[in-house]
Amino acid sequence: MPLRDGRSGKTRLAGDLGPDDRSCLVAALARHVVATLAATDAVARVVVVTADAAFAHAALGGVGGAVEILTQPTDRPGLNAALDVARERLLLTDADARLLVVHADLPALAAVDVAALVDAAGPVVVAPDRTGTGTNALLLDRPAAGFPYAFGPESLAAHRAQARRRGWVPAEVDRPGLAVDLDTVADWAVLPAPVRARVVAAVPGMAALPVAV
């Protein structure tokens, strides 16, 4: 799981949340995702890769289960480079393991969503975001095959194309818990009320954001 620092995340909510609330939101969402991964029987190991290890330790200190925090080298910036660093670490210790990438800002993620990803067949499994353009999770059955990460704008199409170039048909798992990340007020508005309540309990400032009616 890649994790940004506590200062630069959630900038698209800057008009509605101050910097302290945005930092708390990044931490709260990351705790939820890590706890969900750790609670999924099929997940053997949770690795968080970040350029800000101090923030990650502070944010995830109360999460049960073993979580490895991996520091991203300063000479390898960016999300996709961070994931390459994590993949290299995995291959050093378990070259045959499947590799699951999950974003750190999925407030509705549940263990059943993670299990659905792991149970999907195929060398590449993608979980689209709610717009059908981004990738919120990616499972590689053959992490040593050098599949290039393409997270960023239009990442879903890029990941599909990369799979097909290798002769693979990418499987897709489309579930609400995987589809909705939390970057904008529009994302917040479509979350189920119980999920919003859980986030507000951790970040009270979120209560002022508008919701769907």
Measured CA to CA, the distance from residue 66 to residue 57 in angstroms comes to 12
Compute the radius of gyration of the chain from its Cα atoms. 16
Whether 123 maps to a domain, the answer reads yes
Q: Is the pLDDT of residue 66 over 90?
A: no
Asked, for residue 213, whether it belongs to a domain, the answer is no
The pLDDT of residue 90 is above 90 = no
What is the pLDDT, as a whole number, of residue 116?
96
> What is the rounded average pLDDT of the residues 169-181?
96
Alpha carbon distances (Å) from 182 to 12, 89, 190: 10, 28, 10
| 190-204 pLDDT, tens digit each | 999 999 999 999 999
pLDDT for position 145? 77
Helical (H) or strand (E) element with 40: none
pTM of structure: 0.94
Span 100-109, average pLDDT: 97
Question: Which residue segment(s) compose the domain that 19 sits in?
Answer: 2-208
What is the rounded average pLDDT of the residues 143-157? 91
More confidently predicted of 129 and 63:
129
Domain count across the chain: 1
SS3 210: coil
Residue 9 in any domain: the answer is yes
* CATH number of the domain encompassing residue 191: 3.90.550.10
Average pLDDT over residues 174-191: 95
Structure confidence by residue, pLDDT tens digits, 7-35? 888 999 999 999 999 999 999 999 999 99
Say if 57 falls within a structural domain: yes
* Sequence letter at residue 37: L
Question: Does residue 17 form part of some domain?
Answer: yes
* Helix (H) / strand (E) containing 124: strand 124-128
Say yes or no to pLDDT of 6 above 70. Answer: yes
Q: Where are the alpha helices (DSSP H) in the chain?
A: 19-38, 53-60, 79-93, 111-119, 155-165, 176-179, 185-189, 193-202
Q: Are 176 and 5 in contact (CB under 8 A)?
A: no
pLDDT at 213 over 70: no
- Which residue type sits at 51? A
